[in-house]
Amino acid sequence: MIASPYLLYLGAAVDPLTVKTARGIAQWRPDRCLGQLRLPGATVTLGLEDLDVAEAARRGARTLVIGEANAGGRLSPDAIPVVLAALEAGMDVASGLHQKLSDVPAIREAALRLVRRLTDVREPPADLTVGKGVPRAGHRLLTVGTDCSVGKMYASLALERDMRAAGLRADFRATGQTGILITGEGAPVDAVIADFISGAVEAVSPARHDDGWDIIEGQGSLFHPSYAGVTLGLIHGAQPDALVLCHEPGRPHMRGVPGHAVPDLAVCLERNLEAARLTNPAVIAVGVALNTSALAPGAALELCAGVSEALGLPCQDPVAHGTHLIVDRLKSCFAPPLSVASAGR
């Protein structure tokens, strides 16, 4: 378990999407967050107190969490002196980047000398096997998306919260670095060798016999030319009984790839259902989760209503509205005796 409280490193972030790891931790585990560290030029904030390494250490911070990310998943040069200062000040360091902290010689040597812990959450388990698609007991809900970074993790965590509030057994299963930092366990599927992606997801969500639900965090998009392979393996390994489609309205194109249009919601949903039927022919869609953070409240509600009418599914913003309508649909679709039959498949 990563020691808390955390100091969240945001670097010189000007794009909110580059600090989604830190933002997710601050949103879902605020009790573990002592403050944020921003470099000159940063315009993004999490609303936490700005602290430098020395002050954070004085107040009891135990781990510096690298909360920024970039397309290459590498530690930025500006972050290295901050990491070294944190180690010298008595903190451990955790990172969700592809590049391992220990791959930086100065960091590795400092951690060894100071007996500090380096945690790379994108290190996949060593004992993975290939997926087999064999039916297993229990219920699974998977969040899928029209694009990357549209709110799949937030929707998954909100569904866990609201399903539990509705009396269902429900557990969030992390498949990305932020989710793993939030929950303390999971499998970073984008760091898994391609042949083992579906097997890694099977391991994250094994058979359960309590009639409960695993809410599996989706990654990427079947329509994204960079990440569709990860998405497909995750879908097959999840064997979902239910899908929730996640979308952020207003994007001009797929993230990072101008010229590739964001897919139509109905088309995207059907493609995901088609892919999921390979390992669970009975899969159904139970809702749509919109990220309406860029819209006024009235416009957000109007858009959700329009999407709901067009697709015939409940549509909500998990952060602004919760997911109770989606949970109600889920409960109605899998009410006993259907849930009993599904659990034994």
Tens-place pLDDT, residues 108-164: 999 999 999 999 988 888 889 999 999 999 999 999 999 998 999 999 999 999 999
Percent of the chain beyond pLDDT 70?
97
- 341 pLDDT exceeds 50? no
Q: Is residue 244 part of a domain?
A: yes
Residue 294: left (phi > 0), alpha (psi -120 to 50), or beta?
Answer: alpha
- Nearest-angstrom CA–CA distance, 312 and 5: 44
> If you count them, how many residues does the chain have?
345
pLDDT tens digits for range 125-136: 888 999 999 999
Determine how many CB atoms are found less than 10 A away from the CB of residue 219. 25
In terms of domains, do 202 and 274 share one? Answer: yes
What backbone torsions phi and psi does residue 315 show, to the nearest 5 degrees?
-135, 125
In terms of domains, do 203 and 338 share one? Answer: yes
336 or 330, which is more confident?
A: 330
Model pLDDT, residue 80: 96
- Nearest-angstrom CA–CA distance, 9 and 11: 6
Model pLDDT, residue 196: 96
In terms of domains, do 47 and 174 share one? Answer: no
Helix (H, G, I), strand (E, B) or coil at 284: strand
In terms of domains, do 87 and 159 share one? Answer: no
DSSP annotation of 296 reads -
Model pLDDT, residue 123: 85
Q: Is residue 308 part of a domain?
A: yes
Instruction: Give 37's pLDDT tier (boundaries 50, 70, 90).
Output: very high
In terms of domains, do 171 and 62 share one? Answer: no
State the Cα angle at 247 between 23 and 97, rounded to 5°.
40
pLDDT tens digits for range 162-195: 999 999 999 999 999 889 988 878 999 988 999 9
Residue 183: which domain range?
Answer: 139-343
- Nearest-angstrom CA–CA distance, 221 and 218: 9
Q: Is residue 146 part of a domain?
A: yes
State the Cα angle at 41 between 39 and 47, rounded to 5°.
70
In terms of domains, do 204 and 85 share one? Answer: no
DSSP E strand stretches across 270-342: 284-290, 315-316
In terms of domains, do 265 and 220 share one? Answer: yes
Q: Is residue 151 part of a domain?
A: yes
Q: Is the peptide bond before 5 cis (omega within 30 degrees of 0)?
A: yes
Determine how many CB atoms are found less than 10 A away from the CB of residue 96. 27
- Nearest-angstrom CA–CA distance, 96 and 111: 17
- Residue 288 is which amino acid? V
Structure tokens at 46: 């999490």
- Average pLDDT score over the chain: 93
In terms of domains, do 95 and 187 share one? Answer: no
Model pLDDT, residue 122: 86
Q: Is residue 125 part of a domain?
A: no
Percent of the chain beyond pLDDT 90?
84
CA distances from 229 to 222, 223, 233, 234, 281 (A): 7, 10, 6, 9, 20
- Nearest-angstrom CA–CA distance, 242 and 16: 30
In terms of domains, do 104 and 55 share one? Answer: yes
- Nearest-angstrom CA–CA distance, 264 and 168: 32
State the Cα angle at 153 between 292 and 170, rounded to 5°.
115
In terms of domains, do 81 and 206 share one? Answer: no
CATH of the domain at 24: 3.40.50.720
| Among candidate residues 73, 92, 120, the one where a domain is terminated | 120
pLDDT tens digits for range 248-291: 999 999 999 999 999 999 999 999 999 999 999 999 999 999 99
In terms of domains, do 197 and 293 share one? Answer: yes
- Chain CA centroid to CA 145, Å: 12
Q: Which distant-in-sequence residues (6+ apart) come within 8 Å of 159 by Cβ? A: 141, 143, 170, 215, 244, 318, 323, 326, 327
- 339 pLDDT exceeds 50? no
pTM value is 0.86
- Nearest-angstrom CA–CA distance, 181 and 204: 15
Model pLDDT, residue 125: 80
Model pLDDT, residue 73: 80
Q: Is residue 133 part of a domain?
A: no
pLDDT tens digits for range 188-223: 998 899 999 999 999 999 999 999 999 999 999 999
Q: Is residue 134 part of a domain?
A: no
What backbone torsions phi and psi does residue 93 show, to the nearest 5 degrees?
-135, 135
Partnered with residue 118 across adjacent β-strands are 93
Q: Is residue 127 part of a domain?
A: no
In terms of domains, do 60 and 171 share one? Answer: no
Number of domains in the chain: 2
**Residue (of 27, 309, 326, 283) closest to 162 by Cα position:** 326
- Nearest-angstrom CA–CA distance, 19 and 194: 26
